[in-house]
Amino acid sequence: MNSSYELPLDEADYNFGFLDEYAKREIRRAILKSICIPGYQTPYASREMPMGRGFGTGGLQLTLSLAGPDDVLKVIDQGSDDSVNAVNLRQFVSLTCPGLTTTTHTSDATIIQSRHRIPEQPLNESQVLVLQVPYPDALVVVEPSEARRKAMHGEGDYSRLLTKLYEDIVKFREITISHRYPTRINGHYVIDPSPIPRYDVPQLNQSPALTLFGAGREKKIYAVPPYTNATPLAFDDVPFRTEDFHDDRGERIACARCGSTRSFLDELPLADGSKRWQCSDTDYCDQQLQLKSGTLTGARQ
């Protein structure tokens, strides 16, 4: 989308936030229900959006129904503020929500819509994290029938999911799920936390910020309310573990750009066949660089 694009006159009287108020109200109700039943997948009437399903329409509808003119929005895609999906969604929201400001700084945002990452910087109580979800049901890998999955969720029967983990350990000596790691919320429902890496899963646990999940194509909304337990499925003697960023010599790999050793890293293959590691969260990386050069401004320190 061209940033100088303006809505044609006959479309300029779209409601604030593109969706009509009834649609927003329905989505807000689904959000409230999701918060009341942590981890439960609340069905909702996912609206047709002016972009393909699968491009974050679920997250977008959540964002649009939450946003007001005084909100500050950050949109990221795999940690980056500048990738196509993030740029498009951000421009669409600012176009349809006059007054709303956008930012790339995690700490300034009131709503953060994200695809496949949770920002490195810990969130606070006044922030809402909206995650875009392709597959909302963690049980879909073991049970094709939705009716049966619902019964399994209702009874908290996740034995078949655990059997999958058992099989992984038997075959590979470790659990091989790299993203979408099944996570139990508040001791009952197991959710698919969207394709965030394992590294981000512990951030959901007892998070001060509300986390909302929106699946546009699958028409489901679910939530991890603030200060709620989020426990990744594991065995008593084979605990959950996150990605290991240690090199052959046992040293933690540092970001090649900012030098941080405490962030989730992306592996970048270089032209000469070697590889380089860099923070996946671009805002965090910039912030570390500024900290180093002492140019970080007061409010963000």
Partner 1 sequence: MKKILEVRGLTKIYGSGCPRCISATGPAHDTNVCPHCGTVVAAHDVAFDLHEGEILGIMGESGSGKSTVVKTLFFDDKPSSGSARFHDGEQVQELFDLNPAEQRWLRNHKFGMVYQNPNLGLNFNVSAGGNIAERLLMNDLRHYGDIRDRARQLLARTEVLSNRMDESPKRFSGGMQQRVQIAKALATRPPLLFLDEVTTGLDLSVQARILDLILEIQQELNTAMIVVTHDLGVIRLLAGRTLVMKYGRVIEAGLTDQILEDPQHAYTQRLVASAL
Name the site residues for partner 1 (rule: CB under 8 A). 151, 154-155, 157, 159-160, 162-164, 166-167, 169-171, 235-238
CB of 8 vs partner 1, minimal distance in Å? 53
CB of 25 vs partner 1, minimal distance in Å? 34
Which CB atom, from 238 or from 256, has the smaller least distance to partner 1? 238
| Residues in CB range of 27: below 8 A, 6 or more apart | 19, 44, 61, 62, 65, 221
Which CB atom, from 21 or from 167, has the smaller least distance to partner 1? 167
Which CB atom, from 173 or from 246, has the smaller least distance to partner 1? 173
CB of 142 vs partner 1, minimal distance in Å? 9
Looking at the DSSP assignment, which residues form a beta bridge with residue 129?
Answer: 112, 211
For the annotated catalytic residues, the residue numbers are 39, 255, 258, 279, 285
CB of 182 vs partner 1, minimal distance in Å? 13
Report how far residue 51's alpha carbon sits from residue 49's, in angstroms, rounded to the nearest whole number. Answer: 5
Q: Which amino acid is at 243?
A: E
Which CB atom, from 25 or from 148, has the smaller least distance to partner 1? 148
